[in-house]
Structure 1
């Protein structure tokens, strides 16, 4: 193996690394906000609201992320809706992530014993006060490992954005590979970049789970 070419192309890897990190963080942030809201609505007493949100969740959980990227970036212009590359990636990853996070949130809420709701009601708390001060805090604790696990998956799935031209790690690595004729070494560097992002998150989950078990 020969990595003598790496210093000359380190800047390109550095730029692509932060573009990947930027996409992942934006998608995680917006997807979490959307997913938490949708997850709460999935537990609503109103059947119509639950039905509408359920359609969204099943649509984006039941179709491949790659197809969603193609549909938005290449499909929408055919119906007169033009959307930029950056907006496409953030929008699709937000909707995709939100659908999965909605299910994680819903399962966390439904895991809370009904007695918690009844106790809050007996104290005179309304629905929003109960959700904010009693239920949601416990839901976060239950759902946190699953959420972080999904975040790690989203970071790795960001590589799919390369197929529509987004210059993240995989897309940039293809350019570097063509210039250096070193595909194996190039993908080793790409793998290490993803490892640098994902490994601390996986260790964080393990640490929190061990602390929870100790308690």
Structure 2
């Protein structure tokens, strides 16, 4: 057993850094693929809508923990041997893509249909209608729930510990095991999550109130 010193705090902070980096990777990748999923879900072609709906249903209907297991243990079956960083990033990116795709799909469908019809009457193609008319409004309306999902994604990174990824909660667990001071270790971890997530939660709530007042 060792004492709880500044070194243990630095270890927890290193876990917090890993949580932030993983969250940024997953949210960025999920945003890119989520936009494609949202566009596929709202496309006029059935052969795009059906696979996109199946993708969303699978990732919304299964636990994130199971998704991480499938990536970590499934990719080597197909010859892709990945480390925990890659497995966690891929698993969380796919999870984020499904949820962000559905959030943004709702935003796209919330845009008044008349605006898209007017753009079509002006001769704009489907791509240009989505780019210049529909998506700017849809993403603006979806901004608050998107930030809310980011908060959930940050907290969800703790599940990556099950495949060996050392993030904030896992680093606190290691410090607790070494020092036998779980209150200090998990207390600092909880403080870390709070300092990261609370400002984002308040920002999302403020955006919701602003858009509700403008509606």
Same fold by TM (over 0.5)?
A: yes
TM-score normalised by the shorter chain: which range applies?
over 0.9
Check whether the contact 2:103–2:142 (CA below 8 A) recurs between aligned residues. Answer: yes
Q: Partners in 2 of 1:132 and 1:78 — Cα distance?
A: 39
Structure-to-structure mapping, 1:1-215, within 5 angstroms = 5-215=4-214
Equivalent-residue separation in structure 2 for 1:108 and 1:54 (angstroms)? 16
Runs of 4+ displaced beyond 6 Å: none
The Cα of 1:201 is off from its aligned counterpart by: 0.6
How far does residue 77 in structure 1 lie from its aligned partner after superposition? 2.5
Equivalents in 2 of 1:161, 1:78: separation in Å? Answer: 20
Structure 2: tracts of 5 or more residues without a match: none
Deviations 1:128-158 (A, max 9, x none): 1111111001101211111111110000000
For the 8 Å contact 2:12–2:171, the answer to whether it is kept is yes
Greater mean alpha carbon deviation, residues 151-160 or residues 50-59: 50-59
TM-score normalised by L of structure 2: 0.93
Number of equivalent positions: 212
CA distance in 1, matches of 2:66, 2:212: 40
Task: Specify every segment of 5 or more residues in structure 1 that has no aligned partner in the other structure, as ranges.
Answer: none
Q: How high is the TM-score relative to the length of structure 1?
A: 0.93
